[in-house]
């Protein structure tokens, strides 16, 4: 359904991306930001599903500055390798590459952003710092609490699992207090990564509700 493309950031760095296009006239576009596992099968599937919903979707390879086309599965060994990319995240560089993805689809119509894990934090940061967005959604972004003093410039929705060992509920409460204008949902019984149907932590019931909330949020805010 999709194709691999090349994006060019404002500093002239070229990075890879995966882009899908719907069959009919697009409703708008969605930038999909990866987990630490790269633009892998799951992230490509997320893009494909947005195309089915009528959106152009693009997932930039935000690790290309470190290792081009890195993709990983979810075994303990693969997780350990993937963690090296976030030992000291280069947030400005990831935001440069995210802006390149936004710019690549802004001619389609209104642009939303959605991210998972690391990408959830990038999506939140993008909502506060980047241009060209109309809405932002973040799933289980562990660094969001560190950015919570920054106010999003666009409507923003966040999703967390109540049993996420990496994101204490006290962090979620801090975000709620500092950013009352942001929609925050917590899913009982859900762990980190609950939205990915390829991970052991997948929670279908929570993922289905979160997905419907996400689609409704974009339908409301991605309006030309």
Q: How far is the C-alpha of 12 from the C-alpha of 76, rounded, in Å? A: 35
188 is catalytic: no
Question: Strand ranges (DSSP E) for 127-218?
Answer: 135-139, 156-161, 183-187
Other beta carbons within 10 Å of 54 = 16
Dihedral-angle region of residue 184 (phi above 0 means left; psi in -120 to 50 means alpha; beta otherwise): beta
Catalytic residue among 64, 164, 171, 203: 164
**Nearest Cα to Cα of residue 144 among 169, 166, 163, 171:** 171
Can you say how many angstroms the Cα of residue 168 is from the centroid of all Cα atoms in its chain?
A: 20
Catalytic residue among 42, 97, 171, 192: 192
The reply to whether 221 belongs to the active site is no
Backbone angles phi, psi at 55, to 5 degrees: -110, 140
Q: How far is CA 93 from CA 13, 18, 90, 178, 211, in A?
A: 10, 19, 5, 26, 28
Q: Of these residues, 64, 103, 117, 171, which one is catalytic?
A: 117
Catalytic status, residue 42: no
Residues with catalytic roles: 117, 164, 192
């Amino acid at each position: 359904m999709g194709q691999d493309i090349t994006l060019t950031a404002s500093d002239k760095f070229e990075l890879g991306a995966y882009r899908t296009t719907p069959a009919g006239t697009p409703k708008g576009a969605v930038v999909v930001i990866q987990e630490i596992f790269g633009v892998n099968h799951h992230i490509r599937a997320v893009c494909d599903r947005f195309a089915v919903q009528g959106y152009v979707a693009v997932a930039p390879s935000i690790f290309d500055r470190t290792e081009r086309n890195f993709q990983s599965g979810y075994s303990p060994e693969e997780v350990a390798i993937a963690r090296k990319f976030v030992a000291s995240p280069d947030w400005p560089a990831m935001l440069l590459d995210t802006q390149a993805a936004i710019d690549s689809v802004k001619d389609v119509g209104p642009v939303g952003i959605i991210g998972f894990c690391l990408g959830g934090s990038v999506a939140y940061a993008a909502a506060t710092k980047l241009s060209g967005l109309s809405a932002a959604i973040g799933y289980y972004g562990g660094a969001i609490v560190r950015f919570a003093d920054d106010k999003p410039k666009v409507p923003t929705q966040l999703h967390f699992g109540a049993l996420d060992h990496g994101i204490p509920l006290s962090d979620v409460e801090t975000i709620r207090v500092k950013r009352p204008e942001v929609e925050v949902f917590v899913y009982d019984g859900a762990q980190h990564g609950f939205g990915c149907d390829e991970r052991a932590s997948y929670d279908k019931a929570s993922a289905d509700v979160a997905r419907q909330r996400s689609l409704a949020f974009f339908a409301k805010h991605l309006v030309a």
